[in-house]
Amino acid sequence: MNQLKAMAIASLLLATASVCIAGGADVKIKMWKLPSDTHYPHDPLVSHDGYIWYTGNKSNNIGRFDPRTETFKEWSTDIPNSGPHGIVEDKDGNIWFTANMAKPTYIGKFDPHTEKFTVYPIKLAARSDNDPEAAGAHTLTFDQKGNIWFTMLNSDMIGRLDPRTGKFTIARSAQHPVGPYGIVVNSKGVPFFTMFRTNKLGSIDPDTMAVRLYEIPNADARPRRLTIAPDDVVWYTDFERGMLGRFDPQTGSFSEWPSPGGAWSRPYPLLVIGNAVWYNESWLTPTTIVRFDIETHQTQSWPVENCDDGMYLFYPDRDGFWFTCHGTDRLGKVEINEGGSAAKISAGAGKGGR
User: What is the H or E stretch that residue 235 is in?
Assistant: strand 234-238
- Give the Cα separation of 56 and 45 in Å (integer): 13
**Per residue in 66-80, pLDDT tens?**
999 999 999 999 999
Measured from the Cβ of residue 280, the count of other Cβ atoms closer than 10 Å reads 30
What residue spans of the chain are helical by DSSP H? 2-15
Predicted pLDDT of residue 342 = 53
pLDDT at 310: 78
Domain assignment present for residue 116? The answer is: yes
- Which whole number is the average pLDDT over 305-332? 94
pLDDT band of 4, cuts 50, 70, 90: very low
Decide if 175 is inside a domain: yes
Q: Identify whether the C-beta of residue 250 lies closer than 8 Å to the C-beta of residue 226.
A: no
Residue type, 7: M
Mean pLDDT along residues 85-109: 97
Residue 88 CA from chain centroid, whole number: 11
pLDDT at position 346 is: 40
Domain of 162, in residue numbers: 35-215
Whether 19 has a pLDDT exceeding 70, the answer reads: no
**152 located within any domain:** yes
Query: Which CATH number do you get for residue 88?
Result: 2.130.10.10
Average pLDDT over residues 3-17: 37
> Please, which pLDDT band fits residue 309 given cuts at 50, 70 and 90?
confident
Contact 43, 309 (CB under 8 A): no
Res 5 pLDDT > 80: no
The pLDDT score that the predictor gives to residue 122 is: 96
Provide the pLDDT for residue 354: 33
Tell me the pLDDT band of 308, cut-offs 50, 70 and 90: confident
Number of domains, the chain: 1
Cβ within 8 Å of residue 110, ≥6 positions away: 62, 75, 94, 95, 96, 97, 116, 117, 118
What is the pLDDT averaged over residues 209-221?
97
Give the per-residue pLDDT at 132. Answer: 86
Mean pLDDT, the chain, as a whole number?
90
Q: End-to-end CA distance of the chain: give it in Å, rounded.
A: 29
Task: Judge if the upstream peptide bond of residue 269 is cis by omega within 30 degrees of 0.
Answer: no
Do the strands 41-46 and 52-56 form a parallel or antiparallel pair, or are they unpaired? Answer: antiparallel
**What's the whole-number mean pLDDT along residues 16-41?**
78
Q: Could you report the per-residue pLDDT of 226-261, keeping only the tens digit for each?
A: 999 999 999 999 999 999 999 999 999 999 999 999
Whether residue 291 is contained in a domain is answered as: no
Query: How many residues appear in the chain?
Result: 354
Q: What are the CB-based long-range contacts (under 8 Å, 24+) for 206-213?
A: 206/143, 206/147, 206/160, 209/160, 209/169, 209/171, 210/171, 211/158, 211/171, 211/173
Residue 202 reports pLDDT greater than 80: yes
Residue 276 inside a domain? The answer is: no
User: Does any domain span residue 308?
Assistant: no
Residue 53 is assigned to a structural domain of this protein? yes
- List all residues 6 or more positions away from 40 whose beta carbon is below 8 Å from its beta carbon: 56, 57, 58, 59, 326, 327, 329
Q: φ and ψ at 50, to 5 degrees?
A: 90, 0
Strand order, beta sheet including 276-281: 267-273, 276-281, 288-293, 299-303
Please state, for a pLDDT cut of 90, what percent of the chain lies above it.
84
Residue 343: per-residue pLDDT: 52
What is the band of 85 on the pLDDT scale with cuts at 50, 70, 90?
very high
Instruction: Using a cut of 0.85, tell me whether the model's pTM lies above it.
Output: yes
Instruction: Classify residue 188: in a domain, yes or no.
Output: yes
Eight-state DSSP code of residue 131:
B
